[in-house]
Amino acid sequence: MSDKINAEYLRYYERYGDPTPQLHSAYDSWLDDMSNRDDAQLVPFEFDLERYPEQSIYVPKIDACDTHPKIPDVLYYGGIHLIMARSLGALAYRRLLHQFKNQPVSMDDSSLLADRLVANREEGRNTMVVTSHFTFPELGYFKALRFQTNKDRPNIDKGGVLLSKLMTRQSYKGKEIVDYFSPSANIYFSYPKSASAEKHSVPTGAMMLGNALFMKSLKPDLERGGLELDAALTGKQIVSHRNENDELDYYEIPDIDLASAKLIEGFDDIVGATLIKSPATNRWEMRIGEVLDVQELLKTNSSAAIVDSIYDEIAISVEEITGKDVVYSKLAPKLGRLAVTQKNKMNN
């Protein structure tokens, strides 16, 4: 196995071995649980390193690769246009594309968000784009709107998508999830802590090793600058809750792991977005938050507080679009309670 591991990760292998089989054994249970849900959109498939080498914990990143480099731009972007029109509906796609093209940076900055993203890339500023993860396709749709607007084909090596390693075992509409993103962006694999990971006994050591490898693969791209990374920091979809009459009652944004929140510290800007087909109106709606200067905010705020501000906006957007209440448990107060608990333990 070691002969198939990238040389820069060999020291990890020599020290920690390869927990990939144990990781996927836990994933088997998790995937079976997910596939039995009524609203399941993703289809699981087998663990097979020969066919799917990206399933290895020692593959923390897949480099972006233009799968059709000889296709001229007019046909390339036309193909994306056609796919998006079919996915969202032609009228909805045109409306959302127009909305994004005219989206300002903030209430105090009327310059266009699309231009800001281009400038960030050219100036070497790293940007994180956080989506609500109301459903899985949202992340891809919002990325495609930006990709089309800025004609980003020549810059796919500066694009990024953060996925859970679990997604190397899932397909959507007959296509592996990684194959949706790798033609337009680098894919980075993380292992967020969650109630589901704990429920299905995902090995803690494997998660820690996987996240260390992920950060090692991300670091040089951040140092190079100009990275635009899409992420859903919750690590799972927004959860719907039903009442005793089996009617949709409210939504809940899953808890965010502190390590996921701290990830933003390597970025210069962050912006949140919500793109949902409203269950109330059956109409696609998009809300985009203000661009926040992470490094400036970190002078007086914690990363947790910055993430809370992003998800506060997302919660409001989901409420407005769906007409239902949204519960979000702020990360910063939780950290405060944790600090008090630890201090009390030390004093005792």
- 134 alpha carbon, distance to own chain's centre: 12
Among the listed residues 212, 306, 205, 194, the one whose alpha carbon sits nearest the alpha carbon of residue 256: 194
What is residue 5's predicted lDDT score, i.e. its pLDDT?
79
Give me the domain span that covers residue 33: 2-347
Q: Which residues of the chain have pLDDT under 70?
A: 1-3, 333-348
Secondary structure of residue 12 in the 3-state scheme = helix
What is residue 162's predicted lDDT score, i.e. its pLDDT?
97
Model pTM? 0.92
Residue 257's domain is classified under what CATH number? Answer: 3.40.1130.10
Return the HEC string of 239-304. EEEECCCCCEEEEEECCCCHHHHHHHHHCCEEEEEEEEECCCCCCEEEEECCCEEHHHHCCCCCHH
pLDDT in tens, 241-263: 999 999 999 999 999 988 899 99
pLDDT in tens, 288-304: 999 999 999 999 999 99
What is residue 336's predicted lDDT score, i.e. its pLDDT?
43
What is residue 156's predicted lDDT score, i.e. its pLDDT?
97
Angle of helix 90-101 relative to helix 113-123, nearest 10 degrees, comes to: 60
- Nearest-angstrom CA–CA distance, 4 and 82: 39
Instruction: Characterize the bridge pairing of strands 284-288 and 186-190.
Output: unpaired
| Total structural domains within the chain | 1
What is residue 2's predicted lDDT score, i.e. its pLDDT?
55
Which helix H or strand E contains 81, and what residues bound it?
helix 73-88
What is residue 1's predicted lDDT score, i.e. its pLDDT?
54
Q: How far is CA 270 from CA 32, 40, 293, 339, in A?
A: 34, 30, 7, 27
- Nearest-angstrom CA–CA distance, 27 and 61: 19
275: Cβ–Cβ under 8 A, 6 or more apart, which residues? 96, 131, 132, 134, 138, 141, 142, 284, 285, 286
| Burial per residue of 173-192, b for 16 or more beta-carbon CB atoms within 10 angstroms, e otherwise | eeebbbebbbebbbbbbbbb
Q: How far is CA 201 from CA 27, 179, 189, in A?
A: 9, 28, 19
Percent of the chain with pLDDT over 90: 84
